Amino acid sequence: MQRSSRVDYDAIAELYDSTPHREKSADPELTAFLAGCGTAASLTLLDIACGTGNQQIANRGIAPDARFVGLDGSLGMLRQARRKMPDIVWVHGDSAALPFASGSFDFVSCQYAFHHFRDKAGMLREAFRVLRRGGRFALYNMCPQESDDWLYYAYFPEAKTRDFADFWPPDAIVLEMSATGFAGVEVQRRHVHRERDLAELLSAVRFRERNSQLLSLSDAAYEAGLRRIERDLDNPQKHKVRSDHLCFVTVCGDRR
């Protein structure tokens, strides 16, 4: 069973939905895919590493007659998903050895989980295998290679080192997907810029279980990062509001 290389999700499953930014809206790539289909009633849709199911539950609002399946390696996360929407099919399984027949799905997604997989190439091969012809795969993730000025990295530099090891750059994902057989592979980037109050940042990072970057750190590195933020807050010569930037990518490909 392929489990996260960074976080024990069984241990945090009960708290997961109480943390910020867990709400989901319908997947825009699924919306675009559905626009090109005659009817959604016969479609079968898979979300790999579905967690507590928030994405598939949101997606169901735009395709209520389709068949939805969520797969995750954490039984704890799947228990939360089943409590919320028991009539979606929630499956415990390995992203690099999907327990589905070839050509089972019209649309496959993976939302902000690719960096957790130990066998990333295997996961992409499996996503291609279970797609039907005419189907689409959409992968969403953060791009640390284009997020050098993310404040987390300024205060927790070990997180940057870990992320560069765990997150494939977009070009590597495109190359692997193309080699696997996906056609028309494309990358979209979304750059999020904002001004962030350091007091708010300190409050947020004190809840370590809310962020996989922080959970992947050693205790010493995490505590050192907290001290860095505290020192800047106490220093009258330091700005208390700083610019922050994070890059996200969407990589899509089709099976023709």
**What share of the chain in percent tops pLDDT 90?**
84
Mean of the per-residue pLDDT values of the chain: 92
Map out the domains of the chain as residue ranges: 9-254
pLDDT of residue 209: 77
Count of other CB atoms within 10 angstroms of residue 222: 18
pLDDT of residue 142: 96
Q: Which residues contact 201 (CB under 8 A, 6 or more apart)?
A: 151, 155, 229
| pLDDT > 60? residue 2 | no
pLDDT of residue 109: 98
Higher-pLDDT residue of 107, 213: 107
For the segment 107-129, the average pLDDT, to the nearest whole number, is: 97
pLDDT of residue 86: 93
Tell me which residue of 128, 174, 169, 156 sits closest to 212, measured CA to CA. 156
Of 36-40, 43-47, 228-232, 250-254, the one with minimum mean pLDDT is 36-40
Global pTM exceeds 0.75? yes
pLDDT of residue 107: 98
- Give the number of C-alpha atoms closer than 13 A to the C-alpha of residue 182, restricted to the C-beta side: 28
| pLDDT > 70? residue 149 | yes
In this structure, what token pair is assigned to residue 227? 């001290």
Architecture category of domain 9-254 in CATH = 3-Layer(aba) Sandwich (3.40)
| pLDDT > 80? residue 218 | yes
- Per residue in 180-213, pLDDT tens? 999 999 999 999 999 999 999 999 999 887 688 8
In this structure, what token pair is assigned to residue 198? 């350091």
d(CA 40, CA 55): 17
pLDDT of residue 255: 98
CA dihedral 101, 142, 185, 172 (to 10 degrees): -90
